[in-house]
Structure 1
Amino acid sequence: MINILLSGVSGAMGTTLQQIITANPNTQVVAGFDQQANTSLPFPVYTNLETCAEAVDVIIDFSHFAAFPKIFGFAKSKKIPIVIATTGLSETDLTAIKEGSLEFPVFKTANLSLGINLIAKMLNEMVAKLESGFDIEIIEKHHNKKQDAPSGTALLLADAINEGLETKKDYTFGRHGRDTKRTENELGIHAIRGGTIPGEHSVIFAGNDEIIEVSHMALSKKVFAEGAVKAAQYLVGKAPGLYDMSMVVND
C-alpha cells in the first residue's frame, strides 16, 4: 500500500484525487495539506507540514503555485518523493526542482494526461517534415478560475515542437495592435478562459491551401487525477532524479 500526502486536498482537483486514490486498492491518502484546516475528511489535514506525523511514501502536489516553496521544502527535508502537478511556477521554483532532484525523486510534468504526452511525442517527431511552408500556432482553453496563462501544457507542446525543429521558433503570446504581422520565426500561443472548460489544446499547422490540426480535449479532471496516481506509483522506490510523464508513457 502506497501512503500519499495530498497537497491542495480541499480544492477541486484534490477532491477528485481523493476519489481516484480511494478506488485504487494499492493507494491511500494518509494526510492532506491545505491553507485552511478541514476536519470533515477521514484523515488529518495540516496547515503546517512540519507537524505531519504520518508515514508518507509520496506527495502529490496540486496546490496553488504560491504554496509550492513550502511544500517542496518539506519534501526535500524529508526526502519524500513528490509528484508536482502545480503550474505557474517561477524560475526560482524550477531551479529548486532541478537542484532538489539531485537529492531525492522528483516528478515534474506540465500535464498528467497520457494522451497529451503521446501527442507531444508525436509532434516532436513530425515537425521536421512541416518546418518549411507551415506556420505553427497553439490555442489553449481552460476554465475561468485558472490563474496562469498560457497553460503549462501549451508550453509543453511548444517545447516539444521546438525541440524537433532545426531552426528554433520564438514564442509569441497572443497578439494585439496595428503592427502585428506574423514573422516566419514565430510560434504563436493563445489562451482562452471561460466557464468550466477542463482543458483543450489545439496545435495548428497552417500552410498554403492546407491546414493540419492536432487537438486534445479533457472531458473531466479525472484524466489528470488518474495520471497523478500513476505517476505516484511510478515514483515510489526510484533513485534521486527528475522524472516526467514521458517516462511513464515509455515504461
Structure 2
Amino acid sequence: MIRVILNGCNGKMGRVLAKLINEEKSMEVVAGIDREIDKFDNTFPVYSNIFSCLEKGDVLIDFSHPSSIRNTLAFCVETKTPMVTATTGLSGEEMTLFVEASKSIPVFQSSNMAVGVNVIIDLAAQAANALGNTFDIEIIEKHHNKKVDSPSGTAFMIANALNETFEQKKEYIYGRHGNEDQRTENHIGIHAVRGGTIVGEHTVIFAGPDEIIEIKHTALSKDIFALGAIRAAKFITGQKNGYYNMKDLIK
C-alpha cells in the first residue's frame, strides 16, 4: 500500500485526487495539508502547517500554491519523502530548488500531469524540427476564469520544448497590441484566454506559406491530471534520488 500525503488536499485538484486515490486498491491518503483545514469532512487528518504532519508517507503529491513550495520541499527532504508536484506559476529560482532537493530525494515535477499533453509537446517539437523557420509558431492556451497565473505552465513547457529545437534562439511574445508590433521569424507567440469553466486547452499553430498545421490538446475534466499524478506517484516511489519528469514516465 502506497501511503500518500496530499498537499493542497482541499483545493479543486486535491479533491479530485483524494477521490481517485480512494478508488485505488494500492494507495491511500494518510494525511492532507491545506490552509483551510475544516473546509471539508475528510477521511484523513488535515494540517495547516506541513511540519505538524505526524503521518509518514511513501510519497507526497503537491497541487498547492507557489508560496508553499519552499516549505514543502524542506519537509520532504527532512522526512526523506519522495515528491510529485504539479504546482504552476513558479519562478526560475523556485524551479532550481527542485533540482537541489533531488540530490536528497526523488522529485517528480511537471506543470501538466496529463499524458496526452506531453505527447503533443513531443509532436510539436518534431514538427518544429521538420518545418524550421519557414513556419511561424503561435501557442494559444485557454483556461477557466479562476486560474491566476498566465501564460499557463503547460504553455511554457510547449514553448521551451520548441525553443530547444531552435537552440534557444526564439523570443517569447506574450499577446500583441499596438500599431508597430510586426512579428519576426524568431518569435514564438504565446496567448492566454481565461473564461468560464474551461478545464484546459492548448493549441500550437504552425503557419507557413499557404498552409497551416495545428496540434491541439483539450482536457475534458480534471481527472486526467489526477490520474497522471497517481501514475507519477507510483513511479517515483521506486526511484533513486534524482529529478524526474513526464519524459521519464512515458518513455
Instruction: State the TM bucket, normalised to the shorter chain.
Output: over 0.9
State the 1:91 CA deviation.
Answer: 2.1
1:11-160 counterparts in 2 under 5 A? 11-38=11-38, 40-160=41-161
Cα pair 1:128 1:166 within 8 Å, conserved: no
Deviations 1:161-182 (A, max 9, x none): 1112257211111112221111
Q: Distance in 1 between matches of 2:129 and 2:232?
A: 30
Q: Which residue of 2 aligns with 1:214?
A: 215
Q: Which amino acid aligns with 2:198?
A: I
Which residue of 1 is the match for residue 4 of structure 2?
A: 4
Report the CA distance shift for 1:68/1:167 in structure 2 as closer, same or farther (over 3 A).
Answer: closer
Q: Secondary structure of 2:205's partner?
A: strand
* TM-score normalised by the chain length of structure 2: 0.96
Q: Give the unaligned 5+ runs of structure 2.
A: none
For 2:167 and 2:11, locate their aligned partners in 1 and report how far apart those are by CA, in whole Å: 42
* Alpha-carbon distance change, 15 to 167 in structure 1, aligned in 2, over 3 angstroms: closer
Cα distance between partner residues in 1 of 2:49 and 2:129: 49
RMSD across aligned C-alpha pairs, in angstroms? 1.2
Give a deviation string over 1:121-150, Cα, whole Å, max 9, x none. Answer: 122223121113210000000011111111
Distance 1:52 1:72 in 2: 14
Structure 2 residue aligned with 1:231: 232
1:203 matches 2:204: yes
Correspondence for 2:162: 161
AA in 1 matched with 2:24: N
One-letter amino acid of the structure 1 residue matched with residue 62 of structure 2: D
Structure-1 separation of matches of 2:92 and 2:166: 24
Overall identity of the aligned pairs, in %:
48
Distance 1:167 1:101, change over 3 A: closer
**How big is the shift at 1:160?**
1.2
Q: Secondary structure at the match of 1:131?
A: helix
**What secondary structure, in the 3-state scheme, does the structure 2 residue paired with 1:32 have?**
strand
- Structure 1 SS opposite 2:30: strand
- The answer to whether the Cα contact below 8 Å between 2:142 and 2:198 also exists between their aligned partners in 1 is yes
Give the 3-state SS of the residue equivalent to 1:87 in structure 2: coil
Query: 2:133 touches 2:185 (CA, 8 Å); kept in 1?
Result: no
CA distance in 2, matches of 1:24, 1:168: 45
> Contact 2:124 / 2:204 at 8 angstroms: preserved in 1?
no
Give the whole-Å Cα distance in 1 for the aligned partners of 2:50 and 2:133.
52
| Over 6 Å off, 4+ runs | none
Amino acid at match of 1:76: V
Aligned twin of 1:194: 195
1:65 offset after TM fit, Å?
Answer: 1.3
* Contact 1:87 1:152 survives alignment (8 Å): yes
Sort the Cα spacing of 1:167 and 1:241 in 2 relative to 1 into closer, same or farther, 3 A: closer
State the alpha-carbon separation in 2 of the partners of residues 182 and 117 from structure 1: 27
For this pair of structures, how many residues does the alignment match?
Answer: 250
2: CA distance between counterparts of 1:109 and 1:208? 35
